[in-house]
Amino acid sequence: MSPAELHADSIVIDGLIIAKWNRELFEDMRKGGLTAANCTVSVWEGFQATINNIVASQTLIRENSDLVIPVKTTADIRRAKEQGKTGIIFGFQNAHAFEDQLGYVEIFKQLGVGVVQMCYNTQNLVGTGCYERDGGLSGFGREIVGEMNRVGIMCDLSHVGSKTSEEVILESKKPVCYSHCLPSGLKEHPRNKSDEELKFIADHGGFVGVTMFAPFLAKGIDSTIDDYAEAIEYTMNIVGEDAIGIGTDFTQGHGQDFFEMLTHDKGYARRLTSFGKIINPLGIRTVGEFPNLTETLLKRGHSEHVVRKIMGQNWVNVLKDVWGE
């Protein structure tokens, strides 16, 4: 198969997109041959605001049903592939929307939420984020993990502190993930994961989605798609070819105000970090350029079989397990 044919034939999944929701994005997803994506509907929002986000997102999906479909099962992902559409998985980047109510976990599952990050950069009722002293997983957090296991929501640890992550990995009876991270072996950064952390999650049946967010890449805004591929390869050498996938962290369409919200605690309080200029790696600037990644991985010597795994099949396998299918 040619790279274009392989991409068109493969299931292609992005484990984290936080781009601006609109038809233009959905059109670019189709241009990029994206089968499904974990799309963020909650970061700092509580229960009510997250519900409002889901209502707006459901409306947008319905109005653009020629391009996208909602995903609650891996069968929906395969249906999206068959129909030439992109499946939308709702995901949280913070468990804050659960507030202090264990019962909210199942409610959100019923609304289509399939992946929830335990903390976003700072502490919540579950545990601690990666930008402050890590107190580990709380007692309530252990209950949340158990309930997420029960109803079938994947625990995500991308922005979570090291100690809290370790304790979630040990607590969970289902595979957990770093949906979008990079190895600190290529660049030291609070958001990147050490070789030891990557090996630990893989050794316990977990999964790693590799991001291309420029501030976390060694060459920053000067990075190319080959630099991104190098990070994928570095990570795969640690976790293996069955526990790795894509999690771009595309922020396509957002302005500076959005990044200000992300980089302040609770979206408005103390500043946690500054990203500076953000330019995605040359060759994969937009979602529509996803086919270039398949081509790049093939050019770098990976087999069609392994490329299919990286581009999406591994995500399907782990989600099928976590979602209890």
Q: Residues 70-129: pLDDT tens digits?
A: 999 999 999 999 999 999 999 999 999 999 999 999 999 999 999 999 999 999 999 999
Cα–Cα distance, 120 to 35 (Å, whole number)? 26
- pLDDT tens digits in sequence order for the chain, 325 residues long: 999 999 999 999 999 999 999 999 999 999 999 999 999 999 999 999 999 999 999 999 999 999 999 999 999 999 999 999 999 999 999 999 999 999 999 999 999 999 999 999 999 999 999 999 999 999 999 999 999 999 999 999 999 999 999 999 999 999 999 999 999 999 999 999 999 999 999 999 999 999 999 999 999 999 999 999 999 999 999 999 999 999 999 999 999 999 999 999 999 999 999 888 889 999 999 999 999 999 999 999 999 999 999 999 999 999 999 999 9
Tokens coding 157:
């640890």
Tokens coding 181:
């991270």
Q: Where are the beta strands (DSSP E) in the chain?
A: 13-17, 36-42, 68-70, 86-92, 113-117, 154-156, 177-181, 207-210, 244-246
Q: Give residue 120's pLDDT.
A: 98
Global pTM? 0.97
Residue spans per domain, the chain: 3-323
Q: Give residue 277's pLDDT.
A: 87
Cα–Cα distance, 6 to 8 (Å, whole number)? 5
To the question of domain 3-323 being in CATH 3.30.70.60, the answer is no
Instruction: Determine the straight-line distance between the first and last CA of the chain, rounded to whole angstroms.
Output: 31
Contact of 292 with 32, CB cutoff 8 Å: no
